[in-house]
Structure formats: structure tokens, C-alpha cells
A and B are shown apart, each in its own frame.
Chain A
Amino acid sequence: MASSTGKSFLGRFGVHIAVLIFVAIWTIPTLGILVSSLRDKNQLAVTGWWTALVTSSQNDDGRLGTAADQVEKDGKFLIMGNLLKAGDNRTISAFGIKSQAPTEFAAGAVADLGDGVTLQVNDDGFYVQSSPVAFEGDRGRRIYFASSMPPRFTTDNYQTVLFSEGIGRSFINSLTVTIPATIIPILIAAFAAYALAWMRFPGRALLIATIIGLLVVPLQMSLIPLLKLYNGVGLFFGVPAKTYLGIWLAHTGFGLPFAIYLLRSYIAGLPREIMESARIDGASDFEIFIKIVLPLSFPVLASFAIFQFLWVWNDLLVAMVFLGSGSDQLVLTGKLNALLGSRGGNWEILTTSAFVTILVPLAVFFSLQRYFVRGLLAGSVKGG
């Protein structure tokens, strides 16, 4: 007994560890993207996202004003100014005049630079350089300083990508593609699945076999023939080549075999007696489908909706083939791809765009995931 308890404890421990590892593998990069997307772009450029909550310090250098800026006051010549630009919220902790000793003097202290020349740099970047004789030369003195930056979080990146980088528009394009491309196949597949599971008609088995066969047709193979077919038919009806209708139909076609297969096996597993009972109660096939089968199939409809939604949302290939690349048609994946080329160095743009892209799949998954878990059938039949 004791040994078996110990074993199961070890087993459970192992399971927990494994779950933790999987959760970490999945969560940490997502968290990284989220944190990065919310950071100040200057901080993002120099430190990793895991330091986001710590004040970061960095050594920098700057130039004082030139002789042209000097003013004479009380017999001394002064050059005053600020090392930091307006809006820069760094704090200077130390400064120096030699690159070998960039932090020789503490901020606020008056440094003696020899020949009576002194320099004082405050922590807010304000400096005063004074000299008993007039400054000469048209180049200011180079000084070095250590600055520290408090953590700063901002939604500026989101404003940038959504409104000026075109991610917002692409987001809407992606939704325009994805929502109908999820709903249309579900509607068709649910009807087909009910018929293939519960209605008797000649050729049913053959039809099911054909649909299962279609599951293994590679998308890449049928993509171009499908496009030519669509364009040909479109030409006949006077519909332009690259339209949302085309991509809806394409995604519907690619999704249907799997949808019918999944829904059929679920619907075929519903208790026969429930249908028969409804039939005796006076329901037609259509009423049985609408009032009994559809509500009972909600879990499988939801799980297929998640599959289809994610697949369409993340699709790049079909979108590139069936949609144009204008801003009114470019979907998020395409936009991300374009940004990667044009703004490859701008991490704040890329991480923010990436997070905007995964936001919707995350929301869809979390709002529908309970239907994976919950069986709606409990209580309908004995032992159910």
C-alpha cells in the first residue's frame, strides 16, 4: 500500500512537473511579447523584456554647448544647457570628462577641470560650465555620463501600430475574412453531418467515403486550380478576381471535409432514441436537426469553430492567393510579413503587431474552451 501510494505520488508529481513545463513553454514567450509591446521603445532597444520592472542604467555621452552659447556673468563666462533632450526622463547619476572614467564625478558635484574651469551637472541633465576667461572654439566639450532610466510602460506602441502602421486596418480585414469563413462551413457541415449520420438515402456510404478521401487532398495542390476555377466562374458572372467572397469560398471548401467528418462522428454518436422520440413527438427531420441535434452538438460546433477560426486567422497562403495586397485586403499575417521586411529593426512595432495578432485567437480559445471539457449529454440516457 505504502509503495503504491509513493508511486502514485511520484506519478502525480511527474504529471504536475510536466504540466508546469508545458505551461511555461507556452506562456513565457507570449508574456515576453506582451511585456515588450508595452515597453518604451528606447528601453526595448537596449534591455530585454525580463528587465522591464528594473531601473536600467546606461552610459551615454553628450556635448556641451559651444563658445557661441556663452554668457558673461559676474566676470565669469558660463555655458549652460541640458544634456538630455526635453521629454527624456532619464536621471544622471554621475559624469566625467574622460571616456576612461565616465563616472568620475557624482551628479550635482562641481568638478574642477583645471585652469579655473568648473563643470556642474545636475541629475536632471542641467549643466553649468564656468570659466574665468572666455571660451573659444566652435566645438563643445564632450562629456560622459551614467544615466538611469525608471521602468516605463506605455500604450504608445499600440497607437502607433493600430493607427499609423496599418495593423488596425489589417485586423479588420482579417476579421472580415475569418468570421464568414468560420460560420459558412459550420452551417453547411452541420446539415451535411446530420444527413450523413441519420438520414437513409442511396449512396450515403459512398458520399462519406468521398469526404473522408478529401481530407487528405493537400491544399497546395488544389490552390491554383481552385483559383482558376473561381476566376473563370467569376468572369462569367462579372465578379472581379480578388474578392472576399473568393476567400470565403476557398476557406469553406478547404474546411468542409474536416468539418463534416468531425461533426458527423459526433452527431452519429447522439442517442438514437432521442431522435426516434422526437420523431414520434411529431418532429420532421428539419425540426429534429434544429431543435435537438444542433443544441446537443454545441460542444463539437464550438471545437470545430475554434479549429477553423485559428486556421483561417493564421493562414497566409490562401490569403496571398485569393486576396490582393492593397491595404483594404491585406490580412494580418500578410501585414506582419510586410512589416518584418520594412521595420525589421523596430522591435516595438513587431512585438506589438504580433500581440495584436494573437489577441483574437486567445480570446476565441478562452471563451469557447469550456465546451471541450463539458459534456452536454449528461442525463439524457442512462449512465450518460
Chain B
Amino acid sequence: MASVDFVNVKKSFGSHPVIKGVDVEIADGEFVILVGPSGCGKSTLLRMLAGLENISAGEIRIGDKVVNRLAPKERDIAMVFQNYALYPHMTVAENMAFSLKLKGASKAEIETRVKPAAEILGLTPLLDRYPRQLSGGQRQRVAMGRAIVRDPQVFLFDEPLSNLDAKLRVAMRAEIKELHQRLKTTTVYVTHDQIEAMTMADKIVVMHDGIVEQIGAPLELYDQPANLFVAGFIGSPAMNMIKGRLDPENASRFIALDGTVLPVGKPVEAAKGKDLIYGLRPESMRLDGSGIPITVVVIEPTGSETQMMAKLAGVDVACVFHERVAARPGDIINVAIDTRSTHLFDAESGRRL
């Protein structure tokens, strides 16, 4: 096991930069998730760590060793790919033993390493099968088994759950997390699914357009998004953004473009007079007869909660209520806003105030 450090890492394909200077520190045994929309460079970053892509500038360290120029096999890492990348002509056992065989391990040693790995993942009855005879979840497990057998310094996962159906994905999510708790191997995991990131990570690195937008624990990102991008990316349904300014007289009053007044939890005196964006989580509204009137557009009861699209201050906002709401499209209902979870962003720079 080892820590992983990215120091001002850059990558460009030809003249087109895809990673524009990334600094991330990953502690020994940490489960870190790189998350971002497609094309943000997260997979490229992982492949640079794996040694599958060259590093244009900067430094990547595993432990104390700079690995920039090392071949993948010298980095002591194991990687799980999105489409599993099992060797189709080998059985499950042979797939798992492949790296050991290349190292010239003895039969007995291979046995003693493959067996427990198969045990952990429940693959023991499948050891003699070929990949084509396995289901998607089983293949995914074999890919993980292949990584475990190596007992590497770092596990790399490249969107490992994207090919699974929704139910299996939830199950595998728990399995990977449990595996990490058991093995405590430093793990770098790439996904575009923020729920995966929120549920599994010790630390999330939000990437966008080749740069790191924010690094932090899952709830930290949720509660204190550093900028508009992170605010919009983390959380589902996404945070509502309402344009407007602070009341010049009272900084705890936010006045939207159409004049609607919204409460501000932490007033920022210095922001008076600037164009601002008011961030409001869908979950931080509750029904209150004396609150702000909103017009229901679409209502989606899911049983445990009620999701709603409504017009607030002239813009469409998503709301989630934990109670049943007996309203119909076109109705006007009154909601109160929980001022502990309102956010203010500078409209120009996008930064949190």
C-alpha cells in the first residue's frame, strides 16, 4: 500500500490540452473517487497513473517513487476496466493467475493466492468457467479478483459499474466498498455517477475540463460546494440556481430578478451590489402556509418522497418534499426555505461567497 501524489500533472494530445495541471494528494489506504462529466479528463488521469498514457508535464508519485517513466508493470498497480477486459480464452482461474504466471510464480503459490481471492468474491464455484459463461456481475467480480490476486500498492477502477444494470450496480457498490474496508488498499476510482462517488468515497475529486474543481469528503462537497460547477454536479436532483442581487439595505435578503425575496442564511455584506446566484437545494424547502408562494408545474410522487418542478421567482426549480403533497399542476403552494442550506455564488467567477 502506498500514497499517490499528482503534482501539477498535465497532458495534451497534440496541441490540445486535456489535463491542465492537476494536484491531488491521496493518503495511504484512502478510497478516492475522480468524478466529472464525460470529457473532463478523469479517465485520462487514471490511465496516466496506470502508465497507459504518457505524462506531458508534472509528476506522479506512488509512495515515494516518481513513476512518470515507469512501465505499467513496474508501478505495482492493478486496474479494473469498464468492460472487464477479461482474457476470453482463459478460465476464471487462469484469468486471475495470469499476472502471477508472468512473474514466474510457482503453481503452489498461484494456488495459495487465487483461492482466497476467489473466496472473498464468491468465485470459487466459477473457477473453471470461461468469461463468456458468466453474467455481467460475475465478470466484474473476476476482474476485481484479478486485481486482488496481484496484491498491488494501488487499485485503479475505471468506471467499473457502468455496464451493469441499476440493481446490480447498487449491490456491487456495497461489495467494492466492503472489499476496500477489508483490504485497505489505496484505491483510485473513476466514475461519472455522482451517487457512486457520494456513497463510496473517502474523498472525492471533482474534475471539469481538465482541472480539479474541488477536493473533499462527500458531504463537504454537498454542504460547501466551492463553485457553481460542483454545486450543480453534486446532488440529485441538482441544486436550483436563481439569479439576482442582495438587498442593499439588508444582506440577509436576496432579491431575485423578478423581485421575489429569498432568505439568506449567512449574509455577506461585501457582496452587496454584485450580480449573484442563489443556490437552493431541492431538499431544503418544506411546506409552510406562510412561506413563499411557488407554482406547481409537474408533480412526481415516488412514495417515500414527492418530487416537484415548480416556478419560483420566475425560474423552474426542483423541489423534494419528504411528505405527501396533495397539489396539482397549476396550484400555488407556499414553502419555507431552510436558511442553513442556502448558498451564494458570484455570478461572474462562479465562486462560493
- Chain A positions within 8 Å of B, measured between CB atoms, are 271, 273-274, 276-283, 287, 291-292, 295-296, 376-382, 384
List B contacts of A277 (CB < 8 A).
Answer: 79, 81, 85, 87, 146
B50 on the A face (CB < 8 A): yes
- Whole-angstrom CA separation of A277 from B147 in the bound complex: 10
Known: A295-B89, A380-B87. A281 touches B150 (CB 8 A): yes
| Contact A376 B99, beta carbon cutoff 8 Å | no
Over the window 117-134 of chain B, the binary record of Cβ atoms lying under 8 Å from chain A Cβ atoms (1 yes, 0 no) is: 000000000000011111
Closest to B89 in A: A295
Instruction: Digitize B96-125: 1 where CB-to-A-CB distance is under 8 Å, 0 elsewhere.
Output: 001100110000000000000000000000
Beta-carbon nearest neighbor of B164 in chain A: A382
Contact flag A280-B78 (CB < 8 Å), given A379-B134, A379-B139? yes
Rounded to whole angstroms, the CA-CA distance of A277 and B146 in the bound complex is: 10
Name 9 interchain pairs, CB-CB below 8 A, sorted by A: A273-B82, A278-B87, A279-B51, A282-B73, A379-B139, A380-B85, A381-B86, A382-B163, A384-B88
Of A283, A287, A296, the residue contacting B88 (CB under 8 A) is A296
A377 touches B88 (CB 8 A): yes
A274 adjacent to B87 (CB under 8 Å) = yes
Which listed residue, B51, B73, B99, B133, touches A379 by the CB 8 Å rule?
A: B133
Contacts of B284 in A (CB 8 A): none
B341 at the interface (CB under 8 A from A): no
CB of B141 to closest CB in A, whole Å: 14
CB distance from B124 to the nearest CB of A (A): 19
Whole-angstrom CA separation of A43 from B84 in the bound complex: 66
Residues in B whose Cβ lies below 8 Å from that of A384: 88, 132
Query: B136 in the interface, Cβ–Cβ < 8 Å?
Result: yes
Size category of the B interface is 20 to 34
In the docked arrangement, what's the CA distance between A280 and B133, Å?
Answer: 25
Closest residue of A by beta carbon distance from B131: A379
B84 and A381 form a contact (CB under 8 A):
yes
The answer to whether B83 and A379 have CB atoms under 8 Å apart is no
Instruction: Tally inter-chain residue pairs, CB-CB below 8 A.
Output: 87
Known contacts A281-B73, A281-B150, A382-B136, A276 near B81 by CB under 8 Å: yes
Binary CB contact string for chain B from 38 to 52 against chain A (1 if under 8 A, 0 otherwise): 000000000000111
A382→B88 CA distance, assembly (Å):
12
A281 touches B85 (CB 8 A): no
Q: Which of A279, A291, A382 contacts B83 (CB 8 A)?
A: A382
Chain B 17-61 per-residue mask, 1 if CB under 8 angstroms from chain A, else 0: 000000000000000000000000000000000111000000000
Give bound CA distance, A384 to B136, whole Å: 11
B72 proximal to A (CB < 8 A): yes
A296 nearest CB neighbor, chain B only: B89
Give the contacting residue for B89; candidates A282, A376, A381, A382; CB below 8 A.
Answer: A376
Find chain A residues with CB under 8 A from B103 CB. Answer: 282
Q: State A271–B84 Cα separation when bound (angstroms).
A: 11
Residues of chain A within 8 A (CB-CB) of B82 are 273
Report the Cα distance A273→B98, complex, angstroms: 15
Are A274 and B102 within 8 A (Cβ)? no
Rounded to whole angstroms, the CA-CA distance of A236 and B88 in the bound complex is 49
Q: Establish whether residues A273 and B81, one from each chain, have CB atoms under 8 Å apart when the complex forms.
A: yes
Apart from the given pairs A283-B102, A380-B85, 20 other A-B contacts in the complex at a CB distance below 8 Å: A273-B81, A274-B88, A276-B79, A276-B81, A277-B85, A278-B98, A280-B52, A280-B78, A280-B79, A281-B98, A282-B103, A287-B102, A295-B89, A296-B89, A379-B131, A379-B132, A380-B86, A381-B85, A382-B84, A384-B88
B85 and A279 form a contact (CB under 8 A): no
A280-B51 in contact given A381-B83, A382-B83 (Cβ < 8 Å): yes
Closest 8 A-B residue pairs measured CB to CB?
A379-B132, A380-B88, A273-B85, A282-B73, A281-B99, A381-B83, A277-B85, A379-B131
Instruction: Kindly identify which residue among B72, B83, B89, B139 contacts A273, using a CB–CB cutoff of 8 Å.
Output: B83
Contacts of A380 in B (CB 8 A): 84-88, 131-132
Contacts of B85 in A (CB 8 A): 271, 273-274, 276-277, 380-381
B77 within 8 A of A: yes
Taken together as a complex, chains A and B put the C-alpha atoms of A378 and B88 apart, in Å, by: 7
| Bound Cα distance from A280 to B83, whole angstroms | 15
Give per-residue flags for B190-225: 1 if the beta carbon is below 8 A from chain A beta carbons, else 0.
000000000000000000000000000000000000
In chain B, what residue has the closest Cβ to A270?
B88
Q: Are A282 and B99 in contact (CB under 8 A)?
A: yes
Chain A residues with CB under 8 A of B134 = 379
| B114 CB → nearest A CB, Å | 14
CA distance A291 to B50 in the complex (A): 21
Q: Which of A291, A296, A378 contacts B132 (CB 8 A)?
A: A378
Smallest Cβ-Cβ distance to B98: which chain A residue:
A281
Give CA–CA (A65, B305) in the complex, Å. 119
- Residues of chain B within 8 A (CB-CB) of A278 are 87, 98
CB distance from B82 to the nearest CB of A (A): 8
- Residues in B neighbouring A295, C-beta threshold 8 A: 89
Which residue of A276, A279, A282, A379 contacts B86 across the interface (Cβ within 8 Å)? A379
CB distance from B59 to the nearest CB of A (A): 20
Chain B residues with Cβ under 8 A from A382's Cβ? 83-84, 136, 163
Most chain B Cβ neighbours within 10 Å, of A279, A295, A296: A279
Q: Which residues of B contact A377 (CB under 8 A)?
A: 88
**Residues of A contacting B79 in the complex (Cβ-Cβ under 8 angstroms):** 276-277, 280
Q: B136 — which chain A residues lie within 8 A by C-beta? A: 382
Cα–Cα distance between A102 and B110 once the two chains are bound (Å): 90
The answer to whether B88 touches A279 (Cβ under 8 A) is: no
A296: chain B residues within 8 A (beta carbon)? 88-89
* Contact A280 B89, beta carbon cutoff 8 Å: no
Cα distance A381–B85 in the bound complex, in angstroms: 6
Report how far A279 CA is from B81 CA in the complex, Å.
13
- Min CB distance, A267 to chain B, in Å? 14
Question: A379 vs B134: C-alpha distance in the bound complex, in angstroms?
Answer: 8
Among B50, B86, B87, B131, point to the contact of A280 (Cβ < 8 A): B50
